[in-house]
A = this chain, B = another copy of it.
Amino acid sequence: MSALKGIFCPNIVPFTQDGRLNEYELRKIVNWLLEKGINGLYPNGSTGEFTRLSFEERLRVVEVIADEANGRAPILAGAAEANIEQVLKAAAHYADLGCQAISVTGPYFFKVSAESIEHYFRELARQSPIDIILYNIPQFSNEIPVEVIRRLALDCPRIAGVKDSSRDLPRFLNTLNQVKSQRPDFTCLIGCEEILFPALMMGADGGTIASSGVIPEAIVKIYQHFKQGDFEGCKHLQFKILELINAMLVAGNFPEGFRAGVALRGFEPGPSRQPMSPGELASLELVREHMACILADCGHAEAASSCRRCAPSTDRSDVESIVRDVMRTFR
């Protein structure tokens, strides 16, 4: 009986100015997300830059979130570690913390055959003390073919679902058709914000939606509209958020745009773990202003102060001064 339904937020990880995990800010973010009605939390996703944290930091992120959430929402904890033993070590800890499931990508860096990927998940399923969600993200790690998902779902009770971030709706529909039809409790989450509503319409249980960390109001509302059968409302909101999503996707290296969005909502994400060049930082600043306008238009007043259109006393020369400021911080 699955608790993984609705909108799961793959949170960003805030850092202090000297690059440590900012636990205070992380707790603030978690509270805010829960207040906004997010259905579940999803630490150590790609948005959480799990590959840029140490093993110990990944464990700590989940500890902090589990402590702060304190049972208010289910937690899907990312556990894509270096090898089976490390995954299981993390899994045991996340089970102890009361998480509902772990999410594991196909192996990354090396190319690995579909057969080996299947065997890898069978081994995990055999030993894991907690449910496993297959995390398919072929942009970054080895694809988990639908046929492999089907066999794992039918053979392994511990494999409880899939989170598909491939942006490939035909693939997702085949997953629903070939897997969920055979095992109705198999959770199918879409990991692509642009097609949340179409995926729900076709049978998705919910989504892991990075922009729900920036505009939880709109994303939660799409899900609620859908449950109420208000498809026009869903469609309207789905299109309304596209421009912001596009802005966040092009703003620096992923997930910098999403971290900038979180900043516009009043939090302090702090410096990035993946440094950018001065020129890229200046570009990001311009995108950030554009995002501020969109957010202000959506009624998020806290963003208005960063929006030059909404804060009319500033003028175009300020853009240059911002660029200059950014450049100066780099000697």
| A202 touching B274, Cβ below 8 Å | no
Contact A84-B198, Cβ < 8 Å, known A140-B110, A170-B167, A239-B176: no
Residue in contact with A139 in the complex, picked from B49, B53, B111, CB distance below 8 Å = B111
Chain B residues, Cβ within 8 Å of A49: 110
Nearest opposing residue in chain B for A181, CB measure? B239
- 8 Å CB contact of A108 from B109, B181, B192: B109
- Among A93-144, those with CB < 8 Å from B are 107-113, 115-116, 118-120, 123, 139-141
Which single member of B55, B85, B177 contacts A242 (CB below 8 Å)?
A: B177
A112 lies within 8 A of B54 (CB): no
A64 within 8 A of B: no
Q: How far is the CB of A9 from chain B (nearest CB, A)?
A: 19
**Residues on the B chain within 8 Å of A228, using CB:** none
Within 8 A of B (CB), among A16-58: 19, 46, 49, 51-55
Top 10 A-B pairs, shortest CB-CB distance: A170-B194, A198-B198, A115-B277, A119-B277, A51-B109, A169-B169, A83-B273, A52-B83, A109-B140, A112-B253
Q: Which residues of A does B touch, CB under 8 Å? A: 19, 46, 49, 51-55, 82-86, 107-113, 115-116, 118-120, 123, 139-141, 167-170, 173-174, 176-177, 181, 192, 194-195, 197-198, 201-203, 231, 235, 238-239, 242-243, 246, 252-254, 273-277, 279-280
